[in-house]
């Protein structure tokens, strides 16, 4: 499932293709993904010029010259690929845009948890999903004090706090597991005990894990923004995620897999306390 670094990579890929370009054509393969695609989206998109895309949490926002904003969410399995001519649309290609010079960005989403919407610029801040998002973890607002304020008095696990998009936007299962491993904090630790040095360690770990992944995404972009290239999924060096039964890379103990509120967590019982 795409998280902040994957979404950031897709955003950068779309930026390279679309910024300053006019949308000349669109393709809607089906009317609904997670929610319906706005009925007259083609009318608003065609002829509009794309401003530099932005990212908020796991959402991509493409501001347009007509004061609308195209909002994209990749859901569980969404990806974009770039083609330099009209694509041969495949079964799971649900949405696509053509830009000047015949470049296409094609949205493929087999599980259809993705989301496409068109907003008026002035409504972006009050949009039902955007308004609920917590801080950007890579912004200067995400500090140890902020994290400690979110965890104070909370009896849930620290992992649940990290996944809560209303507190920190963009972190999912993979990067929560990785950041907790780097910070040597157990995913099961009660949230309220995360303060002081622990909060500092966790905030620093989150930032460095995300930055490293974005860097890996950037590298993949150089290789993949070319005809047929799917963007946003890249090989990364995960330390603990999906390594259950394998030796911990720090201490050699066996990496464990547990379920927390239905989500799989990977951790080392020795390194993480
Ligand atoms: Zn270990």
Q: What's the pLDDT tens digit per position in 182-239?
A: 999 999 999 999 999 999 999 999 999 999 999 988 777 776 555 456 777 777 789 9
Same domain assignment for residues 156 and 233: yes
CATH code at 119? Answer: 3.20.190.10
Question: Which residues span the domain enclosing 111?
Answer: 4-132
Same domain assignment for residues 112 and 65: yes
Neighbours of ion ligand 1 (CB under 5 A): 248, 250-251, 253, 268, 270-271
| Domain end marker among 86, 112, 132 | 132
The first and second tokens of residue 76, run together, are 């569980």
Same domain assignment for residues 8 and 127: yes
pLDDT category of residue 24 using cuts at 50, 70 and 90: very high
Distance (Å) of CA 64 to CA 46, 54, 93, 104, 267: 10, 12, 23, 17, 43
Q: Is residue 76 part of a domain?
A: yes
Q: Is residue 80 part of a domain?
A: yes
Distance (Å) of CA 176 to CA 29, 76, 234, 243: 34, 16, 18, 14
Distance 165 CA to ligand 1 centre (A): 28
Same domain assignment for residues 247 and 223: yes
Give CA–CA dist 248/267, Å, rounded.
9
Q: What is the mean pLDDT of residues 65-88?
A: 92
Q: What are the two backbone dihedrals, phi and then psi, of residue 70, each rounded to the nearest 5 degrees?
A: -85, 125
pLDDT confidence of residue 229: 67
Distance 113 CA to ligand 1 centre (A): 35
Distance 61 CA to ligand 1 centre (A): 39
pLDDT confidence of residue 228: 57
Q: Is residue 139 part of a domain?
A: no
CATH code at 218? Answer: 1.10.8.50
Distance 263 CA to ligand 1 centre (A): 21
Handedness of CA 186, 191, 195, 201 (dihedral sign): positive
Residues tagged active-site: 2-3, 58, 263
- 61 SS3 class: strand
CA 158 vs. chain centroid, Å, equals: 20
Distance 120 CA to ligand 1 centre (A): 49
Same domain assignment for residues 71 and 176: no
Same domain assignment for residues 40 and 95: yes
DSSP string of 236-269, one letter each residue? ---SSTT-TTSBPTTT-PBPEEEEETTEEEEE-T
Q: What is the mean pLDDT of residues 252-259?
A: 97
| Domain end marker among 132, 154, 184 | 132
Q: Is residue 56 part of a domain?
A: yes
| Domain end marker among 132, 162, 181 | 132
Same domain assignment for residues 59 and 149: no
Q: Which range has the worst mean pLDDT, 74-78, 227-231, 237-241, 255-259?
A: 227-231
Which residues touch 153 (CB under 8 Å, ≥6 apart)? 192
Q: Is residue 116 part of a domain?
A: yes
Give CA–CA dist 39/3, Å, rounded.
28
Nearest CA-CA partner of 90 in 115, 78, 69, 107: 107
For the chain, how many structural domains are there in total? 2
Q: Is residue 272 part of a domain?
A: no
pLDDT confidence of residue 265: 96
Same domain assignment for residues 101 and 34: yes
């Amino acid at each position: 499932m795409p998280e902040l670094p994957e979404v950031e990579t897709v955003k950068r890929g779309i930026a390279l293709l679309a910024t300053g370009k006019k949308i000349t054509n669109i393709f809607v393969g089906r009317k609904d993904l997670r929610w319906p695609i706005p009925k007259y989206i083609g009318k608003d998109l065609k002829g509009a010029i794309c401003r530099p895309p932005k990212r908020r949490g796991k959402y991509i926002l493409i501001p347009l010259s007509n004061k609308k904003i195209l909002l994209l969410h990749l859901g569980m399995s969404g990806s974009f690929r770039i083609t330099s001519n009209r694509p041969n649309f495949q079964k799971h290609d649900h949405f696509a845009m053509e830009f000047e010079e015949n470049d296409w960005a094609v949205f493929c989403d087999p599980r259809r948890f993705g989301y496409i919407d068109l907003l008026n610029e002035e409504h972006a801040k009050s949009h039902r999903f955007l308004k609920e998002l917590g801080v950007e973890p890579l912004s200067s607002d995400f500090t140890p004090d902020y994290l400690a304020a979110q965890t104070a008095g909370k009896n849930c696990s620290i992992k649940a706090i990290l996944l809560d998009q209303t507190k920190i936007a963009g972190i999912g299962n993979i990067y929560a597991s990785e950041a907790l491993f780097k910070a040597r904090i157990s995913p099961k630790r009660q949230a309220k005990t995360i303060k002081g040095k622990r909060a500092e360690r966790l905030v620093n770990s989150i930032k460095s894990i995300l930055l490293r992944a974005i860097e890996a995404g950037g590298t993949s972009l150089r290789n993949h923004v070319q005809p047929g290239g799917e963007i946003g999924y890249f090989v990364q060096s995960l330390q603990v995620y999906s390594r259950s039964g394998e030796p911990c890379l720090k201490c050699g103990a066996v990496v464990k897999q547990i379920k927390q509120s239905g989500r799989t967590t990977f951790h080392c019982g020795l390194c993480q306390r």
